[in-house]
Structure 1
């Protein structure tokens, strides 16, 4: 079984929908209804928002994640359009729809290859966002990672389920990328199985993200250090941006 297939099985255990994040997204929607979740995983947030009456679409690159999202939505009797596809194709995938709020969270944006690719995605997002619509982005704070030489994130441990998610960073100074090396440890019947993966991430700094969003036609940009609207500092764990079009 491959890494992402295994991850899709335990995704909801490792990354449950956080109430503070749901509340942040909901408040950012300003009582408007049409929402797009980019890099939705198994649809945890899309499902929570759909339960609250929002009309939600979700897209993810991984087919196993989408399959899991569809299964959960069906079990909840929710009508969510889950689509398997690349975020780089977002404009083509959703060309017949405009949204009141689009969000890309979970450090997904930096899986793109360069600042140019990120800029193109944000431009495409702008094109399918309604006037006065909202963009929400959350990534790891790469100012902290780069300036303080952070080489790991805290291990996520779900002992009751026998699951651990280990996360390490290696800064490749030649390419400028961050190698995100992860391991899933699954323990059952006193046996532990380990699944490993490594992916190169583009370490996007906060000021570069703000400039990209401005250049795409968004304004009223606010940056926080978390979904609780904590003040952003260079050593904040996360970079959370919200902007209006």
Structure 2
């Protein structure tokens, strides 16, 4: 149930996210004449933004509730975007020359085995550009034990991160209180797990799978990533 509630309010919680800036960066790095697939597209915010900028883009996600909202938004705006329900680890990528995976999609891969499977699958199918980002171990450690919240009339949520140092795993503990039609609030809890990675770990795996690394950037800028970077963006070719 927690994922359904997250999907329902996701766009509100993410309303200040810099999708415009991310979209401009991605467009500057890809062949805009070729089809693009966004992995872990969620409710399609970036997908729709790229489509409106003239990119032939489609989205893929494992969360069916998120995809339902993404499809609904595309239909409402009369946008011809395909959204696919697949696991990005072994997704079919035929026909796409640009693959993007933004907003911590990589962090959902909770082991190096899954990470290797993910990049191997892309390397076997893609001839083009891969762009992805991830939250670094540095960021996840920094978030540990901090509490964030947002409060509205109909929904309130609290988010606390617990970092497991021995496994480099962060448990994002979300608690929602949604107002019912009768006026009382119903509580639902959700734990999202993310694995932290370092630039060197990712770089080594990419090279092993035949990728050429074009750039390693700090948070969708052209500034090179550093040890203090919290979101790192890789631009790769294969």
TM-score, structure 2 normalization: 0.86
Distance change in 2, residues 1:74/1:216 (3 Å): same
Q: Unaligned 5+ residue runs, structure 2?
A: none
Distance change in 2, residues 1:239/1:52 (3 Å): same
Q: Which residue of 2 aligns with 1:219?
A: 212
1:137 lines up with 2:136 in the alignment = no
1:52 lines up with 2:30 in the alignment = no
Aligned length: 235
Runs of 4+ in 1 over 6 A off after TM superposition: 187-190
1:202 lines up with 2:195 in the alignment = yes
> 2-side partners of 1:28 and 1:221: how far apart?
10
TM-score, structure 1 normalization: 0.84
Q: Unaligned 5+ residue runs, structure 1?
A: none
- The Cα of 1:44 is off from its aligned counterpart by 0.8
Which of these residues, 105, 109, 131, is aligned with residue 112 of structure 1? Answer: 109
Q: Which residue of 2 aligns with 1:181?
A: 173
- The Cα of 1:43 is off from its aligned counterpart by 0.8
- The Cα of 1:21 is off from its aligned counterpart by 0.8
8 Å Cα contact 1:177/1:201 also seen in 2 = yes
Greater CA drift, 161-170 or 102-111: 161-170
Deviations 1:51-104 (A, max 9, x none): 2222222111111111111111111111111111211221xx34xx23221111
8 Å Cα contact 2:159/2:172 also seen in 1 = no
Distance change in 2, residues 1:82/1:166 (3 Å): same
How big is the alpha-carbon RMSD for the aligned residues of Structure 1 and Structure 2? Answer: 2.6
